[in-house]
Every structure is written in structure tokens, then in C-alpha cells.
Structure 1
Amino acid sequence: MAELAAPLVASGTSPATGLTEAEARARLQQYGPNAVDAQPPESWVRVLLRQFRSVIVVVLGGAALFSFFFQDYAEGYAILAVIFINAFLGFGLEWNAQASMTALRRMGQATARVLREGQVRALPADQLTVGDVLLVEAGEVVAADAELFEMQQLQVNESALTGESMPVEKRLPAGEPNAALAEQPHRLFKGTAVVNGTGRAVVTGVGSNTQLGAIVHLVQGAERTATPLEAKLNHLARQLVFITIGLAVLFVVGGLLQGKSAYSLLKTAIVLAVAAIPEGLSIVATLALAYGMLRLARRSVLVKRLAAVETLGSTDVIFTDKTGTLTQNQMAVDTVRLSEASLRFPLDAAHPAVTSESYQLLLRVAVLCNNASYSPAEAEAALGDPLEVALLALAHQAGFDVPGALETASRLAELPFNSDTRLMATLHRHHHGQAWVAVKGAAEEVLRHCTQQHTATGAQPLAVAERAEWLLHAEHLAQTGLRTLALAYRILPAEDQPDWAHELTWLGLVAFLDPPRPEVIPALDACRRAGILVLMATGDHPATALTVARQVHLATDGDGDNVVVTGAELPDLLTQPHGAAARFWQTRVFARVSPAQKLDLIRLYQEQGHIVAMTGDGVNDAPALKKADIGVAMGQRGTQVASEAAALVLRDDSFASIVAAVEQGRIIFTNIRRFVLYLVSCNLSEILVVTASSMLLPGAGLLPLQILFLNLLTDVFPALALGVGKGSATVMNHRPHEPQAPVMRPGDWRLAVAYASLMTAALLGTNYLARYRFGLSPEAANAVLFYGLGAAQLLHVFNMAGIGTPLRANDVLRNQFVWLALGLCAGLLLLTYYQPALHELMSIVPLPPVALLLIVAPAVAVLVLGQLLGHALRRWQHRTAAAAPVVRS
């Protein structure tokens, strides 16, 4: 008892009563709360200020200052209003996204049972302190680091820390104090899960002074870079600013050389600046990403950073773990091997072996030699070792009378499983004063205690050759990726005999497999069609990993065993000649890999230009989640540390949800390209109209407030409608877009210039007719140009079709948000004409009936000719893209 009481003596805690409330309060003050410091969220001030750190804001701010300098206060205030509307919208979206993750963490707060003042109390986990007596049982998560002093058949799943999938059996006395985590069976660690038994331990570390806390601080120290979308939008904004400055300088210098007024030139330069800058770019991009985030939330995907959705859309390599992502994270019986038959599951109820004596005896052992709790009606609430739960499920499925067997064969004694004996045995009361022994364990250990085997004709002596044959069966099952248990029994003439776990009768083998998720195969097929390479990286056995990979079609039987590379092979493989390196790049399954090796794998693929997504759940996965371009954490079985390090959190732990996120990311990137093309073409048309009209049609140019008003309409509402479209059903039939490619590619710039030139030519032509054919005044011609440009830009939204898509099949045409946006914008344009205050502010004068034709004609021309132009150019782009390789090397 002296060894067992050492942690209690050191902490000054009574094992019978625990701490007093006064002692607990004092220690809580001394050691702090039992909370792993999560990465602190940004303050609202920093989030708000970041909205103003944009080149677009700088240029617009400069335009506002010029307006104030020339005492055009209405224009100056209008530009400032646009800046602040944009900033507050962006702030609201970012702040809500940050708040949603904080709420998720709060929902995950746990409780713990402790002994205080002689009574068991349930407390919030963050109220535990050093010296508390912590009580744990199956189904609970360990709330703090602690040292055990009492236990009963205690097993803990420490995979969140070590990556080892099977539960660890806890035992006393204590091991070496500085041993590795896996070699400290007397200790409990924060964040691990109790799967069997009960125990009492004294808390030795809380909060950041735990193994979990130490890793959290390492993860928080890693740097995170901007996502590709953020970089692309910043690059596009800089391009537009340079274009704006260049055009303004050329315009002013040219005008001065022609002897024009500096005041009028600077006024026109301000108009050019306002026309060139797409004020709604950041707003629409943020809202498009936020809408995608909401869609993914409905698919059980929590997005922590908005831009991460688009990055996942450009992902072309996904590293996925095995357990719980590709599989269901629950053991199920795959094979039962009896002396007279081999049964594969699911089993036909009419199979003759179902009613055989051997099978019924095996089910009896499975039920009696078992400490798990399972009910078919509440399968998700099962507690205990996963293999024991699977054995109970097997018995229930076979129609075995589980409650009856437990009631009539009460347990008298137990030899618990441990790493030395590698078997578990239970002694039960039998009829007529006899005893019944049930045993399960490793095949070689159970065979050592067997003297006979049960066959179709009854118990027969177990020969040496038959022992060897059973060992070969066990080895074969293990090589196919199955976990095996051997089962045996014995009937004793009396209940009180010593050495009752010997001279057993062998029954057979039960093999288990964590079954694959049914939705994984179609999801992997979708990845293949989309040009995405999926790789498995797991700490599990190579044979087990390969079996699962073949079951979900990640690997095929024709690939051979070379499709698997182990962590031990990796260092040598990468330093060998080209042939070995080629094998590495052809590998689909990496087994027995460590957390450090996962980092190396991600780095190697990133160095080849790939965008890498990584899934993980444990603390040991956190560095890799941070290193990956997109870290995807498991929400059901994952740790808080993994969630903090990841960009996405899967609430259902399903690989299919990752594919849904990839699809949504592609849709969002397609939508972003559409509205950016729309914005740039509209703004270029404004630049050309302002420049050309000032030179060709003096007195008929657009005013700064008119341009700003049109930008508020077309840069926000139609663009936003394009940004939240549902996308094409064929989006996953194409390869990922190049991560380094800009949002506006050279072909898109050519298309934007063509659209802008088309609109400019149509508008200047009708404006010329208005002035010199129909005799409209310069003020009326200005109003015609204003409304004509607005109408043309609104109908131009239907030119944003997919590649070679005719207007009638255009998904933009089916987008209900587009129609709502057009209706709203048309209403606001009409309001500027019929509302006195607005038409005076916009310098609008009454128009004759012929003006309606002059306004509608260029808009229709832009739609018809734009469809023809877009169709021709996009067909050319499609042929060029089809000739490119599907997957980057």
C-alpha cells in the first residue's frame, strides 16, 4: 500500500475523503483553472481595423479627400459611406464566424466526478485542482493528468495522445517516472477516454501543466499563412489599383498637354478612380464564402476561416486517417472460424452452422467472458472494450439468450486480461454444483491452455498438427487486417477448484474488422473523377490499413502489397535511387507512421506544388493539421487541440463530408470567378465610357455620384447573387484549378475587355443618337447614358454562363437570387428618376418617350452579342483546358 499511496502522500490528500472545499479553493487559486489555454480570439477592435487595411480602401479614401478638397461634399460623403458599409459588413461576418467556434468550444465543456469531504461530486472539469481524488469509469473522458492508486479492470483509449487505436490496460505499481507515455500504465492523461473498468486517481497536473496542455502550446506557436484565395484577391485588388492610377495619370497629363482645365481633369480623374475600383469585391467575396459556410454547416462541416472553403476547393491531395473517417470506428465480427466451418458475416440465418453446438458454445463464451454493456435498442450507448461490445452484438444478432445466460451462470471469479497472460478467463456457476469456465485471448496463449477441441462430433484431443494449423489460421486472418480472438471453455466438477483456467476445450477464432462507412466508396469515386489524389496515413498495422483501403476501393487487389509503405521504410525509401522514389509517389497507403512523419509527407507533397488537406482527430495530429493547407478535424471523436489547429471541423467525422466541402469550395471559386469577371467588365466599361465620352462627346459624361451609385448597385447586388449560386452539377467532373493561378486569368482579362468594349460602343452609339439625331440636351443625354449603362450592366449578368452553356440552360438564369437582385436594382434606378430628392442629387432631368428605346437598345445588344462572344471564347478556352493533364505531377 505504500507504493499505491505515494501520490496521495505527496499531494496531502486523504484517499477516503479527498480534499476539503477550503483546500480545493486555495489550490485552485494557486494552480489556476483546469483549462487548456485555447488560442485567444482576436479582439473586435483588431477584426474591425483589419477591414480598413486594403488597397481599395486607400484609393477610395484618396478619392474622398480630393472630393472634400474641391468642396464636393456629397461625393466625398458618398465615397466614405461605401468604405464604412464595406468595413462593417466584413467585420460582422468575420466576428460571427469567430463567435461560432467559441460557442462550439463552450458546448464541449465536460464535467468530472471527484471525492471531496468524503462525498462524490460532479464538477465542471475546469474546477479540478491538484490533489483532487478523481473518479473515472467506462465512457468518461479523463479531465486532468492523474496518478492511479486504485482500479478495477481499467482500460483507457489513449489514441488521442499516442495514436494507438487499442485501449491500454492500466496497472500498478508505478513505472519509471520519465518513461514514454505508452510505458506509464499507472497514470491517466487529460483528454483520453476510459473504455472499461473503474479507477481512482489523485490529480497531479491541471490546465497547461498536462501532457495535453504542453502540446497545445507547441501548436499555437506554429505560423499560419494566407490561403490562396486571400492572396489572389489581394493581387487582383493591386492590379486594379495600378490600372486606375495609370489611367488617371495618363488622362490628366494628356489633358494638361491639350490645355484643359486642371480642375476639370482632376474631377474626371476622381470619377475614373471611383469607376475603376470594384467597391463590392471584398463584400461579395466574404458573403459568398459565408454563404458557402452556411451550406457546409448543413452538411455537418464547421468552417473556422471563411477563405478555407475555397482553398479546399483547389485541393488536389487529401491525407485521410483510417479509423472513424473511412471506417465506422466500431468493431464488428467479420469471421468466425470453427473446427467444422468458417463463417463470414453478415451471415445467412439459414446457414447450418448457426444451430451447431460449437457455434452456440462459442456465443456462450462470448457473452460470459465479457465486461461490456450493450443493448441492440441503444447500440450507440454501448460501453466497454470495442471487441467485447462486438461479441455481445454478435450474440444478440444470432438470437442467443444473452440475459438468460448471464442470469443462470452467475460469475464467481475472474482473471482479467493483461499484457503478460494475454487472455481473460471467468468462472461461473453451472448446474448440479459444477462450474463453467469461459476464456478468450490471443490464439497462441489460449492454445497453450487447451488439451482438446470441440468438433462436430464432440470434444476430441488437440494434436500438435492441429495446434499449428490453428496458429496458421490466426496468422492468415491477421495478415488480412483482422484482429483475432481465440475462445475456449471448460466444465469443472466443482466450483472451488484451483487452476481452473487450464485444460480447456478449444472452440475457434473470432476475427473483427472496423467496417468501412457506406458513403466512403462513392465519395472516393467522386475524388477520382475530380482529379484528387486520396492517401491514407495511419498508425495502424499495414495489413489492416491495406484491407480497409481495398474495401473502400482506395487500393485494388491488382496493386499488390507495394501500395503500402510503412513509417520504418520511409527514410530509406526517400534516400534511395529514382526507382524507390517512384514507388513512394505511387503509394496510396502509409501505415505505422508517426506524427513527425505525417508532417514530412505533407511537406513533400506541398514542395511538389500540391494543395494538401489533412484529416486528424488526436493531439498527435495537431501539428500536421496546422502544417496542411487545409486541416480537417473530427468533431465527434476529435480533441479540442485538433479542432483548434484545423481550418474545418467535421461534426459527423465522415469522409463524404470532406468531399462535400471540396465540391462547395469549387462552386465558390467558380462563383467568385464569375462575379469578379462581372465586376471587372462592368468597371472597365465605366472607365471606357467616362474616358471616351469626355473626349468624344463633351458635356455628356457621367458624374462621380452617378458612377458611385451604379457601382453600389452592380458591384454588390448582382455580383452577390452570382456569388451565392448553387453551381453546376458537373463541377466535380473537372480537375482542381491551379492553386497559383490568379482569379482573373489572361483569357478572363481578354473577355472582360471585350465585354467592356461592347458595352462602351453600344452606349456611345446610342448617346450620339440621343444628342445629334434626336436632339436631346446634354443633361438629358447624360441621364440616358446613366440609365443605359445601368440597364446594360444588369442584363450583362446573364453573360456569366458556364463554358459553352447556352442562355436557356444557364444556371445563372435559374438562380433565384439573380432575379431578386435585378428587381431590386431596377427599382432603385426607377427611384432615382421618380424620387425628387434623388433625381436632383443625381442631376437627372425629365426624359422624352424616345429615351426608353435609347436606354433599352444597348442593354439588349450587350446581352445578345455578349452571348455570342462568350460562347466563342469559352469554347476555345474549353478546348485548351481539355488538352491539359488532369492531375498535376
Structure 2
Amino acid sequence: MSINDIKEPWVKDHLTIIEDLHTNAESGLSSSEAKERLEVSGYNRIEAGKKTSLFQVLINQFVSPFVLLLAIAAGLSFFFKEWLDGIAITAVIFINAVIGFFMEFQAERSMEALKKLTTIPARVMRNGKREEVPSEELVPGDILFVEAGDMVTADARVIQSSQLQTNESALTGESLPVEKNSLPLPSNVQLAERINMLYKGTFVALGNGYAAVVNTGMSTELGAIATMVQQAQQAATPLEKKIQSFSKKLIWITVALVIIVFIAGLLNGHELVTMLETSIALAVAAIPEGLPIVATLALAFGMLRMARHNVIVKKLSAVETLGGTNVICTDKTGTLTQNKIQVSFVQVNGAASGIDVDIPGISIRWMENESISGQPAFEHLLRIAALCNTASYEFENGIEKESGDPLETGLLKMVYASGKSAQEYRHQFSKADEIPFSSEAKVMATLHHSSSQGYYIAAKGAVEELLSHCTSVLEGNNIVRFTEEKKKQWLIAAENRAQSGLRMLAFAFRNSKEKEKDFLHHLTLAGLIGFIDPPRPEVPAAIQECKSAGIKVVMITGDHPATAQNIAQRLGLANQDDKVVHGSSMKHFKDLTDDDKAKWLKATVFARVNPQQKLDLVTFYQEKKMVVGMTGDGVNDAPALKKADIGIAMGLRGTQVAQEVADIVLKDDAFSSIVLAIRQGRAIFDNIRKFVVFLMSCNLSELLIIATASVFNLHFQLFPLQILFINLVTDVLPALALGLTKAAPHIMQRKPYSPNIAIIDKKRWTAIFVYSTIMSITTIGAVLTSHEWLHNAERWSPELCNNILFYTLIFSQILHVFNMSFEKGISFFKTEVFRNKYVWIAIAICILITMLSYWIIPLRKVLDVTIYSWQDWTVVVVFSVLSLILIQFVKKMKWVL
């Protein structure tokens, strides 16, 4: 058998693995043999996928139907020597590209982050002695030595262990350290339960051991995840899809109107060149040049606003995507929970109570039975917790300092919160001897001496194992015989609590007058303690807000099903009757039946899930047309984070790999920050719809005016340069101000937008046509009023008519921004738009720029402005305000939005 073909190494006896690897457990490989194997197996590193070049990132900014439409308009402008038009449109294209490039540039560094996990030395047996070699040079067959604090640098089969425990939360999601041994396991054991294996990228939490390397590089479990990260493809975000769809519709509308006007002009006897120039003006009028810039800046402002609340958005479009998210797949450990082991349950004398250890408040809150704290058995529990313990814990000036096994530090926190001092216990009872914990015995015991009380034996361990060493139990102040019936009751109580998700340990003691060599016998049971990784206090409220917002929250964890169910119930994520989907029962996505899909869709908790299954779940929800947000902090979350519509990584506890592939990073790791981000995302989408409606109705009004003048052969028309000036004045600033409007108060009480909903739906298209029609009618009405009533002229004055048309349209569009509130039942003066200070600033600047076009003589000549009469200015203002009044009237009558 080839050393590279070893399958399921956890199934075989460790001696068989040594034989299959053609190595020696004592002396390891020789240097020459290791060199030969390195040539065959390759370096022990994670290979990077294909990177996106800077040039490609820049090119991507220009690949969209909307940019193509702008480019065509610019090209036509240059072709017909309309230099100002062409330069202005080209500038818009490049400004938008530059903003997008600098705001969105995120190189694919996930593989680099994975590689950093291996840039450390490894200690192996080479040539019969322990040597330190670069971890990249590890090969199958190397005998790896690890101890507390080390990172495991390859996948290896344990052959010898001493109190060996590893923290595999980054890979499996399991919050508690995993005890390791060398015993063989069944073939179908899940990754998180392979207790005779060490995995690349995990950490040794306690003890030490030797293990035979079986897989290196891309053949490791970490390498498999790296492959999935490379292969996971993230589809275009909903916003990108919607803008693409909108751009295509806009192209067809523009083409149709240009053809109609062009043919109508020719039929009316206009020259070909004149109609081509008019067509350019029409194209310029149809295209809202400010849309890309305004959309980009509105999203960028949303990014900055979120950053102030510890939400770092790495990709612009992710801001809006959050607003449409309707399912959040979240990891448990470190995301919903604190990733700390805490005492959660105490049982003595048949009395039991859940407890909450509050270190900042330095107290213990008893859930059911506070009387336990005054019983002698609890005093012994505290003493045993402090003495039978090798960890350390201090709390000074609000800062926790801890080291050692997380479970043991959890015990010390309980002692501290009880008002006791572990140091005082240890000073009073000095340690004389110790029986260390082992995965075989599953019990730890220590012998202590007190000058006043003689010797004291403290022991803790797995319930069933420690109870076998107990012959008595402490009940009240009395030590009574531990009958088989009583022992059975304690075992049942421990099992019931374990099924609810607690990790249970038993605690026992014995007093002795003399020092004993073998002291683990005739112990007195003091009680049981249950441990749990506690939920974050702010998460339940955040989950409830998600539910009220129509967002499904799903827990996906590698942890034990009972633990996952317990946490889910405490968070309000699941009910007692809800079933947990176990990873072992999950089929591959391609093999799912309709019943399996229905089961997945209903479930809110998935436990013992591996990275591939997380990826399958994201794919499943996306197939159901859901916008998926995936939160996580571990290496095991990386493929699903990348595949999801919105990947959300934890900033404090999150691995670098998870942060690199995610779209959003939560600096404070707070699940509640996701709710804030979703609220902001919804507000951004609302605002995008507002300024798109504004831009389209303004530009369509220009289209209708040009088309009307051409079809009916009127004696006035807008010039291409005037159209561009109108667009530059009214497109950007008012639209940008709309993009900064605050979220409506009830925005989190409505369901998420469907991912299929267009930016401009039928109601909004109707509103656009109605708004633009009203503005066109009032603008042309201003021209007719000035001509017939004020001047009573027999002949048309094209210059005067053009000026009245020009200024009335500008002021109508500026005031039109106030029509962009779509909230029902709110007074005009109390709408979010009317109260938006940025809107007022934008209006003031737009009016100033407009008046400068009249006051500055050179600019007046360029724009062919000749209007002088105050009566004409009165007509301009009256008909501009009339446009606002008429649109408000049709909105009040609910004929349009």
C-alpha cells in the first residue's frame, strides 16, 4: 500500500498505521527517506487559487449594460463633434469606475491566509531523535510531537497521548476541547468525533502526544476546505442583477424613442444631420448619467455609517444585499455563544439548580434553588474545584486573566464569583500528590495537606467513572452509604442533564489522617456540575427582531445536537419540540429528495455539520430563491461564507481565513450588529429606488419635451448642451441627498424584499410616466403662457421659448425631489424627505448653480440664455411650483405612489 493511499486512518489500530506508513514510532524517518517522500507527496502547504489581478478588477468596473449605454452616448457625441457632451459623459464613466475600484477592491487573499497557518516549525522524530523542521517539509510517515500551545501542522493519527486535548472549534465548530487517545474508531464517525486524529490548523489545548502524519498539504481536511473555497462561486448580488435588468430595459426604451423622434423629424421635413443631432440630445436626455455615481456614493455612505457601529463592509453591493436577506445561517460557537466554558448547573443532595456566573458583578445567580449555596456539599464543591485544578484565573480592574484548560478556568470563575479565593484554598491545602487526568481513566485526583485538618483528597471526572470510586455520599451534614439505588439515581440525573446539552462532571472528596500512595478509593460524592458555552446576552433580542423582520435564523454548528438544541431554546431560536437535523443523516445536495428538502426547510438547528454540508445548506436556500446571509468565525465556515449572498465574519474571534472571504466583518462579534446592518441595507435599497424614480422621471420629462417638439414640429426645442447642463444640475446632488435619507421607523417590521423584485416595479414605472408627463405639460404650458398672455406675439420667439422651457424644467426637477416620499398617511411637511437636511442643501446649491448660468455672462452665452423680464421669471416659478402641487394631488388621490 502506498503511503499516499491510506484511507480512514481513524479506523485502524495505531500499530497498523505505523506499519502501513513504513515508519518507526520510536525513531521516525531518516532524513534521506523524508526527502524522497517530499518529492512524491509535495510540500505541506495550501495552494492558492487563481487570483484576480488589479487590471481585471479595474476592467470589471466597466462591464455593465449601463456603462455600455453611457459609452455609446459619448461616442455619438464625439462623432458629431459635440465635444462638451462627450467629455462630460466620459468623465462620468471614469469617475464611477475609480470610485468602484477603490471601494470594492478586495484581492482574493483567502488562500494566503490559509498558507499563514503553516508558516511555523514542527517537531518530529528524525534519525532517531526529536528535531525541528519547517512545517512545509512534513511528509506522511513523520512522527509528530505536539504539546499544549502548539498548532497542529498536518493531519496525523495519534499513537501516544498524555492528557492530550485539542481545540478544533475553527475546523469543526466544537466549542469544548476534544480529548484524544489512540484507540481505533468506527468507519462512519463524524469529523468532530474522531478523537484519535489530529488535524492541520487546530491547536493543542492541554497535554502532549505523538502522532503519525497521514496527510499533508491539500490532502488534509484544511486543504479540502481550501479547495471548496476556491471552487465556491459567488453569484452576482441582487442589487447588481437589478441594475443590470433595469439598464437593459432603459436601453430598449431609449432606442424606441430615438427611432420614433428620428422618423417623425424626417417626415416633418427636417434635415438628416439636424435629426441626428436631436437624436444625440435625446440619448443624453434618456440616460441618467448621475445614476452610477449616486448609487456608488450612497452605498459608500452606508459603509461609513455601518463602520461607526463596528460593521466593516468590504464590498459596496453587500450593503444593499443585506437589506434583502431573508435567511441567516449562523454558527453557534463564538457567534451566538461566548466561546467560553461556564458552570451552568449544580446538583447536591438531590437538590439541583441552574446557575449564572456573573464575573463583572462578582456573583452567582441561582435559577431554582438558592439554598444550595449554604450547604456543606457546595462548600466541598468549591474546595474541590479550586484544589483539583491546574489552571489559573485572576480578575483585577475589570480585566480577566486566565490560563489553562477552559473547563478548569470555568470552575475557578465559579469559585471567585462565590466570594471565595482559589489561592486561599491552595495555601491552606498544599498539594502533596496528583493523579493526572487521562482519557482512559477519565478522572483526576489530587492529595493535599493541611496543618490543621490532615490530608484532603479532591477528585473530579466523568460521572460514571468517578462514581465507581465512591462508597459514600454527602447528604446535609452527614456522610451516608452510597447504595446501588442512589448511584443509579445520580447517573440518571447526570444523563438527563447531558441530553439537554450540558457537559457533566462529578466531584468527590475524602479526609485522611495519613499520606496515601494510592488515594483514589472510598471517596464521598459531593455533587455534580454541568458546563456550557453560554449564549451572548444580546442575541435573543436580535433574533426576535430578525423574526419580526421576516428573517429566518438557522443555527449550523459542528457541536453536539443536545448542546445545539439547548442553546437554540435559550436564545428563542427553537422550541422544545423542534427536531435537530444531525449531520450524519444529511445527504449530499444532489441526492436530496422532496421530503429531505421539506425537512431542511423547516429545521432551525443543524448539528454535527461538516464544511461540505454547510456549503450544501447555503446552496439549498439559494435554490429556494432566498437571499442567504452566512455568519461564521472558523476555517470550516470559509467555503459557505464565500458561497452565500452575504458572508459575515467575526472580527474578534474570527480566523483570518473567514475574514478574508467574507463580505462583512463584525468588529465586535455581536450578532446584534447584523440587525443594524440589515436595517441600514433596507434603508439603502429604499433610497436607491427613490433616486432612480427621481432620475428617471426627470430625464423622461426631457425626453417627452424633445419628442413633443419634434413630432409636432414646434418652434422651440432644448439644445444638447442645455440638456447636459440640466442633467448635471439636477441629477447628482438631489439624488445623492435622497440616498442619504434615514430609515423609516417601521422598516424592520416588514418582510424582506423578494430577491426577484425589480428596482423599478410596475407601480414605480407608472409613477415615473405620470410624474414626467405632469412636468412636461407644466413646462410646455409655461412656454405657451409666456408667449400668448405676456407677450401676445404673433410670431414665435424661439430664443425666449427655449429659455422659458429651459428654466421651468430645471426648477420643476429641483422641486420634484419632495415628491420622492412614498410613506402613506404622513403629512407632506413631516416626510423623511422634507426633513432630510441634505435635500435642502442640495436644493440650495442647485438653485445657486442655475442662477449662475444667468448671472455669469460667458456661461449665459454658451447656454444661449436671453430671458430678461421679471414677468417671464414669474411664469417660470409659478409653473414649477404648479408641477409640484399637481404631483402631490395625484399622490394624495392614490392614483400613483
Q: Where on the TM-score scale, by shorter chain, does this alignment land: which range?
A: 0.7 to 0.9
Match of 1:121 in 2: none
Match of 2:457 in 1: 437
Q: Which amino acid aligns with 1:533?
A: K
Task: Note if contact 1:771-1:778 (Cα within 8 Å) is conserved in structure 2.
Answer: no
Say yes or no: does 1:739 pair with 2:755: yes
Structure 2 CA distance, aligned partners of 1:204 and 1:586?
40
Say yes or no: does 1:726 pair with 2:747: no
Match of 1:881 in 2: none
Say yes or no: does 1:687 pair with 2:687: no
Structure 1 CA distance, aligned partners of 2:660 and 2:269?
63
Structure 2 CA distance, aligned partners of 1:68 and 1:476?
80
Q: Secondary structure at the match of 1:502?
A: coil
Q: How many residues align?
A: 854
Q: Secondary structure at the match of 2:702?
A: helix
| Alpha-carbon distance, 1:172 to partner | 6.8
Aligned CA distance change for structure 1 residues 398 and 60 (closer, same or farther; 3 Å): closer
Moved more, 243-252 or 523-532: 523-532
Q: Secondary structure at the match of 1:441?
A: strand
Structure 2 CA distance, aligned partners of 1:316 and 1:183?
33
| Alpha-carbon distance, 1:358 to partner | 1.6
Match of 2:5 in 1: none
Say yes or no: does 1:766 pair with 2:794: no
Task: Note if contact 1:542-1:591 (Cα within 8 Å) is conserved in structure 2.
Answer: yes
Aligned CA distance change for structure 1 residues 106 and 617 (closer, same or farther; 3 Å): closer
Q: Hey, which of these two has a bigger chunk of helix by percent?
A: 1
Say yes or no: does 1:299 pair with 2:319: no
Aligned CA distance change for structure 1 residues 718 and 205 (closer, same or farther; 3 Å): farther
Structure 1 CA distance, aligned partners of 2:134 and 2:243?
42
Contiguous gaps of at least 5 residues in structure 2: 1-14, 125-132, 357-363
Match of 2:56 in 1: 46
Within the candidate set 520, 526, 537, 1:501 is matched to 520
Moved more, 344-353 or 407-416: 344-353
Within the candidate set 163, 172, 187, 1:162 is matched to 172
Aligned CA distance change for structure 1 residues 866 and 172 (closer, same or farther; 3 Å): same
Task: Note if contact 2:823-2:831 (Cα within 8 Å) is conserved in structure 1.
Answer: no
Q: Secondary structure at the match of 2:799?
A: helix
Match of 1:513 in 2: 532
Deviations 1:237-269 (A, max 9, x none): 111111111110111112222322111111111
Match of 2:403 in 1: 383
Task: Note if contact 1:279-1:711 (Cα within 8 Å) is conserved in structure 2.
Answer: yes
Q: Secondary structure at the match of 2:509?
A: strand
Moved more, 212-221 or 579-588: 579-588
Q: Which amino acid aligns with 2:764?
A: D
| Alpha-carbon distance, 1:680 to partner | 0.9
Structure 1 CA distance, aligned partners of 2:427 and 2:480?
30
Deviations 1:21-79 (A, max 9, x none): xx99xx99999998755666533322222222233333333333333333333333333
Aligned CA distance change for structure 1 residues 185 and 702 (closer, same or farther; 3 Å): same
| Structure 2 counterparts to residues 646-657 of structure 1, below 5 A | 646-657=662-673
Task: Note if contact 1:39-1:644 (Cα within 8 Å) is conserved in structure 2.
Answer: no
Moved more, 399-408 or 641-650: 641-650
Cα RMSD after superposing both structures: 4.1
Q: Secondary structure at the match of 2:340?
A: coil
Structure 2 CA distance, aligned partners of 1:35 and 1:535?
34
Moved more, 770-779 or 665-674: 770-779
Q: Which amino acid aligns with 1:248?
A: V
Q: Which amino acid aligns with 1:509?
A: L
Within the candidate set 475, 491, 494, 1:474 is matched to 494
| Alpha-carbon distance, 1:188 to partner | 5.0
Structure 2 CA distance, aligned partners of 1:257 and 1:777?
24
Structure 2 CA distance, aligned partners of 1:581 and 1:177?
27
Match of 1:678 in 2: 694
Percent sequence identity over aligned pairs: 43
Within the candidate set 72, 96, 116, 1:62 is matched to 72
| Structure 2 counterparts to residues 212-611 of structure 1, below 5 A | 212-339=222-349, 341-346=351-356, 347=364, 351-377=370-396, 380-431=400-451, 434-498=454-518, 500-556=519-575, 560-569=576-585, 585-611=601-627
| Alpha-carbon distance, 1:232 to partner | 0.6
Deviations 1:668-720 (A, max 9, x none): 11111111111111111111122223445734211111211222232222111
Aligned CA distance change for structure 1 residues 818 and 137 (closer, same or farther; 3 Å): farther
Structure 1 CA distance, aligned partners of 2:118 and 2:682?
37
Structure 2 CA distance, aligned partners of 1:71 and 1:683?
23
Q: Secondary structure at the match of 1:375?
A: strand
Q: Secondary structure at the match of 1:376?
A: strand
Q: Secondary structure at the match of 2:403?
A: coil
Deviations 1:809-865 (A, max 9, x none): 211122222222222222222222223332232222352222321222222122222
Structure 2 CA distance, aligned partners of 1:458 and 1:379?
40
Structure 2 CA distance, aligned partners of 1:449 and 1:383?
29
Task: Note if contact 1:129-1:206 (Cα within 8 Å) is conserved in structure 2.
Answer: no
Aligned CA distance change for structure 1 residues 837 and 397 (closer, same or farther; 3 Å): same
Match of 1:883 in 2: none
Match of 1:717 in 2: 733
Within the candidate set 788, 796, 815, 1:795 is matched to 815
Q: Secondary structure at the match of 2:526?
A: strand
Match of 2:127 in 1: none
| Alpha-carbon distance, 1:590 to partner | 2.8
Task: Note if contact 2:261-2:711 (Cα within 8 Å) is conserved in structure 1.
Answer: no
Say yes or no: does 1:94 pair with 2:104: yes
Deviations 1:571-616 (A, max 9, x none): 5999999999766544333333444443443344333332222223
Say yes or no: does 1:866 pair with 2:876: no
Q: Which amino acid aligns with 2:832?
A: D
Say yes or no: does 1:856 pair with 2:872: no
Aligned CA distance change for structure 1 residues 635 and 759 (closer, same or farther; 3 Å): same
Aligned CA distance change for structure 1 residues 282 and 381 (closer, same or farther; 3 Å): farther
Structure 2 CA distance, aligned partners of 1:555 and 1:181?
25
Aligned CA distance change for structure 1 residues 176 and 730 (closer, same or farther; 3 Å): closer
Deviations 1:101-136 (A, max 9, x none): 8999799999968889xxxxxxxx999765999997
Match of 1:822 in 2: 843
Deviations 1:494-516 (A, max 9, x none): 33423x21221111001123222
Deviations 1:131-172 (A, max 9, x none): 999997656755676899998644211122233332123457
Q: Which amino acid aligns with 2:311?
A: V
Q: Secondary structure at the match of 2:393?
A: coil
Match of 2:864 in 1: 843
Q: Which amino acid aligns with 1:852?
A: W
Match of 2:360 in 1: none
Q: Secondary structure at the match of 2:527?
A: strand
Q: Which amino acid aligns with 1:439?
A: A
Contiguous gaps of at least 5 residues in structure 1: 15-22, 117-124, 878-889
Q: Secondary structure at the match of 1:826?
A: helix
| Alpha-carbon distance, 1:204 to partner | 9.7
Say yes or no: does 1:83 pair with 2:93: yes
Aligned CA distance change for structure 1 residues 642 and 455 (closer, same or farther; 3 Å): same
Structure 1 CA distance, aligned partners of 2:256 and 2:456?
93
Match of 1:703 in 2: 719
Match of 1:778 in 2: 798
| Alpha-carbon distance, 1:746 to partner | 0.3
